[in-house]
């Protein structure tokens, strides 16, 4: 696992954005796997700025997102489609027809199957951006006794619902189920790139970076199977997690 320890989260986000820029420079029609949540927002801000300054061109880029809440239309302000539009796509020269976020409404099983197809359609993602949950989840693959290989319907854990309640008016508004990419799709990417910050991630990062074990109780540990997996954390989190 390649681990980059930065001075601060701001630097982590700049480096992640530069890595994405470099993938596109090398392959203008790159396919990016993208993530939502609090962590990637400054990464997307960096990419918007780079795009405005002519440093990166999204005209031929395709994207597929990790997950979506079940029950929210793409126009709902807390849906991940809305998140992607407002935090990135509306501000860069991407063709939105080339962006895919799973549907939150309609038949969930069909929507999961469509996501699986999109992950592999015309080649796998060149880079897959990832956050990490407090419980070690990646996308919505929750910690538990088993993981699921393919895109599927996932019931969110209490810990995830609590963590995501900050984006909603009240906890009861957080959807309890989601469509998520499975472990196969994430590990199929040419380079999974996980960015984390904050004390709430320390235990999960400890499990990911301080030993060679793989456990479904910390889904991020499956990234240890991927030779190109890269993790960016700041020195504050590295210290809390006991990463040298
Ligand atoms: P966060 O979420 O970036 O909002 O902390 C990460 C995740 O749950 O994967």
Of 33, 136, 158, 163, the residue with max ligand 1 atoms within 8 A of its CB, to mutate for a pocket test, comes to: 163
pLDDT at 74 over 90: yes
Considering the chain, what is the average pLDDT of its residues?
Answer: 98
Closest CA to ligand 1's atom 2: 37
Cα–Cα distance measured from residue 35 to residue 31, given in angstroms and rounded to the nearest whole number: 13
Question: Which tokens sit at 92?
Answer: 């860069």
What is the pTM (predicted TM-score) of this model? 0.97
The mean per-residue pLDDT over the stretch 34-51 comes to: 98
What integer is the mean pLDDT of 35-59?
98
**Sheet arrangement for strand 99-100:** 2-6, 230-234, 192-196, 127-130, 31-34, 62-65, 99-100
Atom of ligand 1 nearest to the CA of 137: 9
For the stretch 101-133, pLDDT in tens is 999 999 999 999 999 999 999 999 999 999 999
Distance 94 CA to ligand 1 centre (A): 24
pLDDT tens for 174-211 read 999 999 999 999 999 999 999 999 999 999 999 999 99
Lining ligand 1 with CB less than 6 A are 37-39, 131-133
The per-residue pLDDT for 244 is 87
């Amino acid at each position: 696992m390649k681990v980059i320890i930065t001075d601060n989260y701001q630097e982590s986000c700049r480096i992640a954005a530069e890595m994405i820029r470099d993938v596109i420079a090398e392959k203008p029609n790159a396919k990016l796997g993208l993530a939502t949540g609090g962590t990637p927002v400054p990464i997307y801000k960096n990419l918007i700025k780079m795009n405005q300054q002519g440093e990166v061109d999204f005209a031929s880029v395709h994207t597929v997102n990790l997950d979506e809440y079940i029950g929210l239309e793409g126009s709902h302000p807390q849906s991940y489609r809305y998140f992607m539009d407002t935090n990135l796509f509306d501000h860069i020269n991407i063709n939105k027809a080339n962006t895919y976020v799973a549907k939150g409404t309609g038949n969930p099983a069909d929507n999961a199957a469509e996501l699986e197809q999109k992950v592999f359609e015309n080649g796998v993602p060149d880079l897959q951006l990832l956050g990490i949950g407090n419980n070690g989840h990646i996308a919505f693959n929750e910690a538990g006794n088993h993981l699921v290989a393919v895109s599927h319907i996932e019931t969110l854990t209490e810990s995830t619902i609590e963590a995501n309640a900050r984006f909603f008016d009240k906890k009861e508004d957080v959807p309890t189920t989601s469509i998520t990419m499975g472990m196969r799709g994430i590990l199929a990417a040419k380079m999974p790139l996980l960015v984390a910050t904050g004390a709430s991630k320390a235990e999960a990062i400890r499990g990911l970076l301080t030993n060679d074990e793989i456990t479904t109780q910390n889904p991020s540990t499956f990234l240890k199977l991927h030779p190109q997996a890269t993790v960016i954390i700041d020195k504050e989190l590295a210290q809390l997690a006991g990463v040298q």
